[in-house]
Amino acid sequence: MSDISETLVKQVSSAFKQSTPLKIIAGGSKAFIGREAQGEPLNVSEHKGIVSYHPSELVMTARCGTSMTEIQQTLAENGQYCPFESALFDGAATLGGTLATNLSGPARPWNGSIRDAVIGTRLINGKGEYLKFGGQVMKNVAGYDVSRLQAGALGTLGVITEISFKVLPLPAASGTVVLAMNASEAIKLMNQVSAKAVPVSGSAWLDGNLYLRYSGATKAVDSALKQFKTKNFQQLEPQQADEFWSAMNEQKLDFFKGEAPLWRFSLKSNATHLLDDQNWLIDWGGAQRWLRGDFNQSELEQQAQHSGGQVSLFRYGERSNEVNHTLSEVQKKIHKNLKASFDPKQILNPGRLYSWL
C-alpha cells in the first residue's frame, strides 16, 4: 500500500514542460490492446492499495495500481464482488488498467461494465494538474462525468490514480446449462432469454454449444434452470461452469490460442450471424462477437456497420495501423478537441487509441 501520487504529478509536470511523450504502464497485462505507442515509460504500479471500503455502502475506493485479484479477494471476504467481472490476467490486471481499457466479463449486458460501476476518479491531466471528479456516492450530477469518460480512453486523457466504484453482493446461487445448437439459433435464444424476468448472468456460444448462466436468489436460479428439463441440455458442475466462464473471460480457451488476428465485434444483440463458415465466439447475449483470422479491416467494418455496430482488431495482427473502428469526421474533430482539453501537448499515451490522437 503506497501513495506515490506526488511523484507521478511531478513526472507528468516535467514531461509537460519538456513535451516528452509518456507511455503509462502498471501490470502490463493489457499492453496488447490498442496501437503500438512510443513514449517514456510512466510506471504507476507502485501507486496501489485499497483506500477505503465500507461493505454496507457498496463502494470501494482503490489506487490505480491495486491488483484486481486483491480487490476481488477483499470483496469476496465480505460477500461482495465487482459486477463487471473483469479479467484478472494471472493476477497482473490492475484497477487503473481495467478502467482505461473498459474490459468486462460475461455479465456485462446485465450487470454493466466498469464504466457503469465507476463513480469517482482522481487523475493527472496532461498539464500535470491533479484533479478529482465524482466521489463515493452513486448519484452525482455535478459537472461533466469525467470519471466515466476515462473508460476505454486508454490513458490518453489522464493518468488515472484513484477510482471509486460500486460493488454488489455476491449472488447466493449460480448455475450453467449447455445446449447444442448452431450460431443463428443461439443468437435467437440468447435474445429470448434476456427478454424474460429471469436472473441470467452469462450467455455465450462456442463450437455448436450455447452456454447459459443464471445467478441470483437460490429459488430463482433453480426455477430458471428447471425450464430446460424438457430440452436436450447438460447442466455443468459448479467447478466446471466456473472454469468455462473464467477461461472465456481470461481468453484462455482454445479459441483464443495462436497469433491469428482476434477481432472484436460490438453489435446489436440480435444482429444476424455473419460469415457463417468462420471461427466465432459469441458472448454478451449476442452483443459481443469474437472472430479469428486474417480479414480486410475495412470490409469487416462495413459488415459491422451494416449490423448496427463496430469492429476492432483486439489482439495480434498489424498494430501500427489503426486498430479501432473508424470514426466519422465529426467524431474525430470532437475527439481531437477533447484530447487537447485534457492533454494539450499530446504527451499521454499518444497514438495508443488512434494514430491521430
Partner 1 sequence: MNQNTKISKVQLAEAIVQIVGAQNLIIDEETQKPYECDGLSVYCEMPLLVVLPDNKEQVQAVMVLCHQQGVPVVARGTGTGLCAGAMPDKDGIILSLAKLSRILEIDPEARTARLEPGVRNLAISEAASEFGLYYAPDPSSQIACTIGGNVAENSGGVHCLKYGLTVHNILALEVITVTGEVLQVGGSGLDNAGYDLMALMIGSEGLLGVVTEISVKLLPQPEKAQVVMAAFDDVQKAGNAVTAVISEGIIPAGLEMMDSHAIVAAEDFAKAGYPTEAKALLLCEVDGSLEEVQEHIQSVEKLFFEQGAFSCKKSGSEAERAQLWKGRKSAFPAVGRISPDYYCMDGTIPRSQLAHVLLEIDKMSDAYGLRVANVFHAGDGNLHPLILFDANVPGELEKTEEFGAKILELSVDVGGCITGEHGVGKEKIRQMHKQFNDTELTQFHAIKYAFDPLALLNPGKGIPELKRCQEYRSIDSAAE
Please give the residues from 188 up to 207 whose contact with partner 1 meets the rule CB under 8 A: 191-192, 194-199
Contact status: 31 vs partner 1 (CB under 8 A):
no
- Min dist CB 27 to partner 1, Å, is 21
- Min dist CB 40 to partner 1, Å, is 24
For the chain, what is the total number of helices (H) and then of strands (E)?
11, 17
The C-alpha cell at 13 is 509536470
Question: Between residues 10 and 257, which has the closer beta carbon with respect to partner 1?
Answer: 10
- Min dist CB 223 to partner 1, Å, is 5
Contact 317, 261 (CB under 8 A): yes
| Interaction residues for partner 1, span 40-59 (CB under 8 A) | 54-59
Question: Between residues 24 and 67, which has the closer beta carbon with respect to partner 1?
Answer: 24
- Min dist CB 243 to partner 1, Å, is 24
| Interaction residues for partner 1, span 221-250 (CB under 8 A) | 222-224
Question: Between residues 28 and 112, which has the closer beta carbon with respect to partner 1?
Answer: 112
Contact status: 263 vs partner 1 (CB under 8 A):
no
Dihedral of alpha carbons 339, 345, 347, 353, sign? positive
Which residue shows C-alpha cell 466479463? 105
Quick note: the x/- pattern for partner 1 over 85-124, rule CB under 8 A, is: -----------------x-x---xx--xx-xx--------
- Long-range contact set of residues 8-14: C-beta below 8 Å, sequence gap at least 24: 8/42, 8/44, 8/47, 8/124, 8/159, 8/161, 9/124, 9/128, 9/130, 10/128, 11/42, 12/42, 12/124, 12/126, 12/128, 12/159, 12/347, 12/348, 13/127, 13/128, 14/128
Which residue shows C-alpha cell 435474445? 191
Question: Between residues 231 and 306, which has the closer beta carbon with respect to partner 1?
Answer: 306
User: In this structure, what DSSP letter does residue 116 have?
Assistant: H
Q: Kindly tell me which residue out of 3, 46, 129, 242 binds partner 1, with binding defined by CB under 8 A.
A: 129
Contact 135, 164 (CB under 8 A): yes
∠ CA 48-52-55, nearest 5°, is 125
- Min dist CB 43 to partner 1, Å, is 25
Q: Name the one range near partner 1 by CB under 8 A: 16-24, 90-98, 136-144, 248-256.
A: 136-144
- Min dist CB 175 to partner 1, Å, is 14
Q: Which helix (H) or strand (E) holds 153?
A: none
Question: Between residues 15 and 287, which has the closer beta carbon with respect to partner 1?
Answer: 287
∠ CA 257-180-217, nearest 5°, is 90
Contact 269, 109 (CB under 8 A): yes
| Interaction residues for partner 1, span 277-336 (CB under 8 A) | 284, 287-288, 307-310, 312, 324-325, 327-328, 330-331, 334-335
| Interaction residues for partner 1, span 137-166 (CB under 8 A) | 137-146, 148-149, 151-153, 157
- Min dist CB 124 to partner 1, Å, is 11
Dihedral of alpha carbons 320, 65, 82, 132, sign? negative
Q: Return d(Cα 357, Cα 352) in angstroms, integer.
A: 8
Size of the site for partner 1 (CB under 8 A): 90
